[in-house]
């Protein structure tokens, strides 16, 4: 079975979606990967529905462009379909998928600058339905934080994104980016310190990380 046919209408040429099939809520990611390895298209759809929005947000913060992030999202899940039989369960499925996403993003950005974030990055961050004053305050806070994040090194921005936006553990981040756990801890420490310095320069004495 050709993998492109299997994900037709799922990842290919589709916008990220938060919809989740209710009948599949109890099915674990590990079980889904096992089914996908056997060519189960329905399992692929469920896995995509469960993780696509999270992966898309990770990608857009890495590449800073919505269209590129959507293309990479498709590539990530095509890769998942093709390599599901090689998943060895050394980490959580979500960690494995984010590792694939990171590799795809770095490959796409090779030769390009990481130093600028597109305005779409900030716009992609969802907010709850607050009153206008609170909404404005949150928008200003998010814009400031995104500006600070854009000034971090690539390595520091990646660990901040994974730890705080995707709630990955230090161990999981180490698996995703392929460095020792102590290196991740050091990068988080220096990233937080740098963000605090950048915010202080803007007159903000407390960071939000």
The CATH number for 59's domain is: 1.10.1740.10
Instruction: Report if residue 197 sits inside a domain.
Output: yes
Domain span including residue 107: 1-114
**Max mean pLDDT range (61-65, 88-92, 100-104):** 100-104
Residue 101 lies in a domain: yes
Whether 116 and 158 have beta carbons less than 8 Å apart is answered as no
Residue 28 lies in a domain: yes
Task: Print burial letters for 43-81: b (CB count within 10 Å at least 16), e (below 16).
Answer: bbbbbbbbbbbbbbbbbbbbbbbbebbbbbbbbbbbbbb
Could you report the per-residue pLDDT of 109-132, keeping only the tens digit for each? Answer: 774 543 333 343 334 434 444 455
- Summarised one tens digit per residue, pLDDT across range 20-64 is 544 455 689 999 999 999 999 999 999 999 999 999 988 988 887
User: What percent of the chain is predicted at pLDDT more than 70?
Assistant: 69
Residue 157, exposed/middle/buried by CB under 10 A (0-12, 13-18, 19+)?
Answer: buried
Residues 21 and 110 in one domain: yes
- Pick the range with the lowest mean pLDDT from 29-43, 146-160, 177-191: 146-160
96 or 113, which is more confident: 96
Q: What is the pLDDT of residue 206?
A: 60
Provide the number of structural domains found in the chain. Answer: 2
Question: Which pair of structure tokens corresponds to residue 130?
Answer: 């607050």
Q: Look at residues 56, 82, 114 and tell me which one is the last residue of a structural domain.
A: 114
């Amino acid at each position: 079975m050709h993998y492109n046919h299997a994900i037709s209408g799922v990842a290919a040429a589709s916008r990220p979606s938060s919809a989740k099939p209710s009948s599949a809520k109890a099915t674990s990611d590990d079980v889904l990967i096992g089914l996908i390895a056997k060519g189960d298209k329905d399992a692929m759809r469920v896995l995509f529905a469960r993780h696509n929005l999270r992966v898309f947000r990770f990608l857009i913060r890495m590449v800073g462009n919505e269209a590129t992030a959507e293309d990479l999202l498709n590539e990530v899940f095509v890769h998942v379909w093709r390599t599901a039989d090689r998943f060895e369960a050394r980490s959580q499925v979500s960690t494995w998928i984010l590792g694939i996403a990171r590799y795809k993003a770095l490959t796409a950005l090779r030769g390009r600058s990481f130093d600028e974030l597109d305005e779409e990055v900030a716009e992609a961050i969802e907010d709850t339905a607050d009153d206008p004053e609170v909404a404005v305050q949150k928008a200003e806070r998010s814009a400031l934080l995104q500006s600070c994040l854009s000034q971090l090194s690539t390595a520091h921005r990646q660990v901040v994104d994974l730890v705080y936006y995707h709630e990955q553990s230090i161990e999981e981040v180490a698996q995703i980016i392929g460095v020792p756990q102590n290196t991740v801890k050091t990068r988080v420490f220096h990233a937080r310190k740098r963000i605090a310095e950048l915010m202080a320069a803007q007159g903000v004495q407390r960071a939000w990380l």
